[in-house]
Amino acid sequence: MAEAAANHHRSIDPKTGFCPQTRTFHSLRPHVPLPPPSLSLSLPQYALSLLRTSSSSADSDGDTDFIIDATIGHRLSYSQFIAQIRSLAHSVRKNYSLSQNDVAFILSPPSLHVPLLYFALMSLGIVVSPANPLGSESEIAHQVQLSKPVIAFATSKTSSKIPSLKFGTVLLDSSEFLSFLTQSDVDNDVLNRAQVSQHDAAAILYSSGTTGRVKGVILSHLNLIALIAGYYHLRQLYREEEAPHPVPFFTVPLFHVFGFFMLARAFAMGETVVFTKRFEFEGMLRAIEKYKITYMPVSPPLVLAFIKSDLTNKYDLSSLLLLGSGGAPLGKEVAERFKEKFPTVELVQGYGLTETTGGATRVIGPEEAARYGTVGRLSENMEAKIVDPVTGEALPPGQRGELWLRGPIVMKGYVGDEKATAETLDSEGWLKTGDICYFDSEGFVYIVDRLKELIKYKAYQVPPAELEHLLHSHPEIADAAVIPYPDEEAGQIPMAYVVRNPGSSITEAQVMDFIARQVAPYKKIRRVAFINSIPKSPAGKILRRELVNHSVSGGLSKL
């Protein structure tokens, strides 16, 4: 057995990570040790243990700020944050008869209370399920139906969207909730009381999946521990002695996988997180200057805003060392223009899905950052295949196919949707990403296109099927199709092709308004074309590619 393993390792190409026998790519990153999977361990316990052993954050149990709300200037130090997590966990345990693996739905704009809830609830073995506070009532109802929460945490403004639940909805802006954070008789060991298995669900995050309507992605404590372990151990390896204290500014929402894992990662590493209640470009520039921000997770439209805006000249941005771009592909030209304007800021890309805990590949260090267009190398402890979508054959480096991923950060599945889980995760644990990619001769991954039909609006995913379903419900619309339309600022915008009913004179504005009333702002249709019929295959499938080509060429007579 050991001999077979040794032979297998010998046959992995050290440059690409490809093994010709198994047709599998292996990570070229150093192996990262993970806690034994049988050990009871929650994500908050693991993050706390890293915080305490991290030499750079020796003072992080004390007065170092962990999180700052730049909108109102409120902040919590590490010691205050840990004390409030304990107090909140104690209060939830005392006031509600929640059981381990119960789900708590969270619907709140960004605030200091959201991270406290995540850590307190997960340490009790309760599954957190945060959703977009801008979601419409029908979207929230669908999410609640999937995750089946027994309790919700919301604000006075968002609570009306949540249906009635077994233990009700706790208002985060109520005096009752605020009293939960300041209990004095708290057992210091409250965060270790629950025996949480690493295989238990930690969070249900909402994603469009690889097709169709919104899905609830079940991420385990192990998924999140594995992701954070990678960042932590690699930082120890690549660390520079004179590096300043890391101060990230979060432009990504905390309910999104990107914000969710970055928050846990920042805590484990003793960093100081700065966020604002509502993202606004100049407000962000002010925060960079005021708090000496060192790095930021961003989406490609924000990189473009940095390039195009003259406001950047008004502020001292010299503390900024790195932008990590994710959520959608970043064009080579944009990366080059950014580097011209900000030569001292490293711009790196990463790639991940909600289904891979937000991670999968990433760029590390200035040498890799100089390779524009790549999303980096396969993350530590991960394997990949490039599969021909037609033949199902696994392909070697340089060949394009669907990216399949396997490893400890791959989700448990979709909640309440066994069919979708089976379509996305095969019996050997391979996750089919729906993205067309290739590996180059040095193990760098490039994203070419999407098999899936999702529209990437800024860092959000918009499923066309959901919007088509709504359009079909309009009495004056006979048929409709929604496609991605290229947009420099947003990446893509949802565009609708609409077939009017005979006698109807419905306008573009009426179509857009009809959808806008029913969906979150990022899902709005922003362009409409009227057409005689929607092109379809003999089986009735919309020929989206024809519509995409048609929309870009602009000639309405051809269809």
Q: Where in the chain is the domain with CATH 2.30.38.10?
A: 1-30+345-452
pLDDT per residue over 93-128, tens digit each? 999 999 999 999 999 999 999 999 999 999 999 999
Annotation: CATH topology of 1-30+345-452: Luciferase; domain 3 (2.30.38)
For residue 236, pLDDT over 90 is answered with no
Q: Where in the chain is the domain with CATH 3.30.300.30?
A: 455-558
Instruction: For 421-477, give the secondary structure using H, E and C.
Output: HHHHECCCCCEEEEEEEEECCCCEEEEEEECCCCEEECCEEECHHHHHHHHHCCCCE
Q: Please, which residues have CB within 8 angstroms of residue 156's CB and are 6 or more apart in sequence?
A: 171, 173, 174
For residue 538, pLDDT over 80 is answered with no
Region 455-558: CATH code: 3.30.300.30
**What is the DSSP secondary structure assignment for residue 503, as one 8-state letter?**
T
Give residue 329's pLDDT.
67
CA distances from 74 to 65, 70, 125, 189 (A): 10, 7, 29, 27
pTM across the whole model: 0.83
**Helical segments of 377-436, H only:** 418-424
Q: Mean pLDDT score of the chain, rounded to an integer?
A: 89
- pLDDT band of 541, cuts 50, 70, 90: low
Nearest-5° Cα angle at 52, 51 to 55: 85
Q: Where in the chain is the domain with CATH 3.40.50.12780?
A: 42-279
DSSP states along 172-201: TTSHHHHHHTT-SS--TTGGGSS--BTTSE
| Residue of 4, 55, 416, 22 lying closest to 12 (CA atoms) | 22
Six token digits for residue 487: 């947009």
| pLDDT average, residue stretch 357-385 | 93
Phi, psi (degrees; rounded to nearest 5) at 83: -65, -40
pLDDT per residue over 400-447, tens digit each? 899 999 999 999 999 999 999 999 999 999 999 998 899 999 999 998
Region 42-279: CATH code: 3.40.50.12780
Among residues of the chain, what percentage have pLDDT more than 90? Answer: 68
85 by Cβ neighbours in 10 Å (0-12 / 13-18 / 19+) ranks as buried
What whole-number distance in Å separates Cα of residue 379 and Cα of residue 372?
A: 18
Indicate the range of 155-159, 302-306, 434-438 predicted with least confidence. 302-306
Reduced to 3 states (helix: H, G, I; strand: E, B; else coil), residue 492 is: strand
Question: In this structure, which amino acid lies at residue 226?
Answer: A
What whole-number distance in Å separates Cα of residue 464 and Cα of residue 451?
A: 14
